Structure 1
Amino acid sequence: MKHPEPSSAIRTVARAAAHWLALMESGTATEQDRVQLQQWRDSAGAHESAWQKAQLLRQRFNTLPSALAMATLDRPDPGRRAVLKQALCVAAVVPTAWLLSRQLPVDVWRADLQTATGEHSRVPLADGSMLQLNTASAVNVDMQARLLTLVRGEMALKVSGSAPITIEARYGRITLNRSEVCVRLNPGDCQVSVLSGTVQLQPLHGPALLLREGQQVSLGATGAGGVSPFDPLQPGWRERVLMAQNQPLGDFLRELSRYRAGLLRWEPALETLRVTGSFQLDNTDRILSLLAATLPVQVHARTRYWVTLVPRNTPV
């Protein structure tokens, strides 16, 4: 089974960020080193995100490198810079470990299937069912027990076989047979939407309930909320499309930010502007450009990973 974003790759990026940081603070970095660092940061959103986190974490550990630097620079050894560089690399191990633990919890590291921010994965299961993972998601798969566990993010499952499959989420279990469902973990609940067929829900607390095509419900710590119709535009992510129908811009941007690495901000005055359209998620920069072309907003980008939207003709 393919692993879209193995934890080893995430650890490699975090270690690379720590080593770049150690080099930049060692006093031996050349102009070419700085150019190469910038190229590394620009080459992937995960690189820039790891670099920003490494810099923030370095501030928490700044006393240790300072002591090491003073002790090393006081030595008359001609190789003191090399020693300092090694010392800083050792010191960087601590924030790297912290970075790894804060970047992804252990259960996400160990998940069978993962996607990074902005990534989408489509995985056929052994019985012919189709599993899709949305941005920044993780799932464990046990086909012998016919059990999927949603660890993080959002998934869609279309079960085409004769035997049911159960999805275990944070606040309950969802069992489906010849049905299709979307399950999304939010900070305080789990949203279940039925695209076709029927599904059986067993919340952690409260009675079981049957959910039919076109219905959705939120499962929380105290049980299931009320059943309601779901927005048919919501699961457009399965086709790599973000759709909006007269949606408040603030809500649209909050959803869009799930697919972008880095920081996306906007002025409160833009919250109530309305958005309608279908937007390809393969290029979120283009989505921002389209918003600027169709709405009275302008996009200010300090870097690709630090973007602010403001009312048009407003200086930043």
Structure 2
Amino acid sequence: MPSAVTPEARAVARAAGQWLALMESGAANDDDRRQLQHWRDSSSAHESAWQKAQLLRQRFCGLPTALAMATLDRPDPGRRAVLKRALGVAALVPAAWLISRQLPLDAWQADLQTATGERKRFPLADGSTLQLNTASAVNVDLQARLLTLVRGEMALKVPGSTALTIQAPYGRIAVSHGEVCVRLDTQACRVSVVSGAVQVQPLQGPPISLGEGQEVILGASGAGVPKAFDGQLPGWREGVLMAQNQPLGDFLRELGRYRSGLLRWDPVLETLRLTGSFRLDNTDRILELLTASLPVDVHMRTRYWVTLAPRKKTAGKNSA
């Protein structure tokens, strides 16, 4: 069974593609090259991704050279204008090619997909409703009454009496009347029943019946112990990211699922606590709100390269 690619690996691949686009654009300057070297030196994963990016030089040598998607937010209008004129489909090729080498092929060939930061609702022909969260992919076979979760997270609402089955890497979930959310992570799958009841068949072990407000984690070795959750709280289906006294590190890892590029933070920020609800339709705004409620600063080199750091203390005006 192929392992799922982590959001961190996906972001590194995307960043390497963006760096390649800039280096091949003809608009890179000495500062850009220094920044690239710093990025490569900061992590072995970065260097590995960059070496893979070099393989693209020959594959895409016939494409237009100005492929610098990662520099559009820079203040120099002359550089921005040059790069914008060359953007288009070609600007997406390096990052997409690199990511495709790390993401499962079937995710790119799935019937229904969402990109990073995108959420979509799909009415199905039988009256059911399917929602896909960010960076998700599902295959649909209504004739066989089967949906296969390939990647990411989905919600399925089934109003009728004929069950639909969700096939996930770690088990099957049968929904006859109700709503269920299924999230596929790197090594597990979370099944949460919003309403109604479902039957879960793990890869290992006996089937499990879950009722409204219950969820369970499925893994390669079977199912965990079902536990309660509050299905009435707003969530991604309503376009909301909730935090209830949550460690900031956990919140940022979740937020990173909805952003393209790299989102980093100083490890000292991991244990800060956060409570609030945030609209997912503007993740830049979420970062701004964090600076208003927590002692953190957000540094944006570009929209695709963001770092959070502890806020620097400044001496008071009347200090001795």
Higher RCO (Cα < 8 Å, 6 or more apart): 2
RMSD (Å) for aligned C-alpha atoms: 3.4
Name the residue aligned to 1:199: 198
What is the distance in 2 between the residues matched to 1:99 and 1:226?
38
2:249 touches 2:271 (CA, 8 Å); kept in 1?
yes
**Which residues in structure 2 correspond to 1:1-316 (within 5 Å)?**
24=25, 29=26, 56-57=50-51, 60-61=54-55, 86=62, 99=98, 101-102=100-101, 104-232=103-231, 236-313=235-312
1:273-293 deviation line (CA, Å, top 9, x unaligned) = 111111000000000000001
Q: How many residues align?
A: 256
Q: Where is the helix percentage greater, Structure 1 or Structure 2?
A: 1
1:134 touches 1:154 (CA, 8 Å); kept in 2?
yes
Structure 1 unmatched runs, 5+:
1-12, 35-51, 66-84
What is the distance in 1 between the residues matched to 2:208 and 2:108?
33
Of 235-244 and 192-201, deviating more is 235-244
Aligned-pair distance for 1:61?
3.6
- For 1:117, the aligned partner's letter is T
1:93-125 deviation line (CA, Å, top 9, x unaligned) = x97895263253210111000000000010001
What is the distance in 2 between the residues matched to 1:98 and 1:266?
27
What is the distance in 2 between the residues matched to 1:233 and 1:273?
26
Aligned-pair distance for 1:232?
3.6
Report the CA distance shift for 1:200/1:87 in structure 2 as closer, same or farther (over 3 A).
Answer: closer
What is the distance in 1 between the residues matched to 2:19 and 2:293?
41
Paired residue secondary structure (2:166): strand
What is the distance in 1 between the residues matched to 2:187 and 2:244?
26
- For 1:255, the aligned partner's letter is E
2:155 touches 2:180 (CA, 8 Å); kept in 1?
yes
What is the distance in 2 between the residues matched to 1:23 and 1:110?
29
Report the CA distance shift for 1:314/1:129 in structure 2 as closer, same or farther (over 3 A).
Answer: farther
Aligned-pair distance for 1:314?
6.9
1:68-99 deviation line (CA, Å, top 9, x unaligned) = xxxxxxxxxxxxxxxxx65999xx9x978952
What is the distance in 1 between the residues matched to 2:50 and 2:20?
15
Report the CA distance shift for 1:140/1:196 in structure 2 as closer, same or farther (over 3 A).
Answer: same
Aligned-pair distance for 1:250?
1.0
- After TM superposition, the score normalised by the length of structure 2 is 0.71
Calculate percent identity across the aligned residue pairs: 65
- After TM superposition, the score normalised by the length of structure 1 is 0.72
Report the CA distance shift for 1:295/1:164 in structure 2 as closer, same or farther (over 3 A).
Answer: same
1:245-285 deviation line (CA, Å, top 9, x unaligned) = 11111111111000000111111211111111110000000
Structure 2 unmatched runs, 5+:
1-13, 29-45, 66-89, 315-320
Paired residue secondary structure (2:281): coil
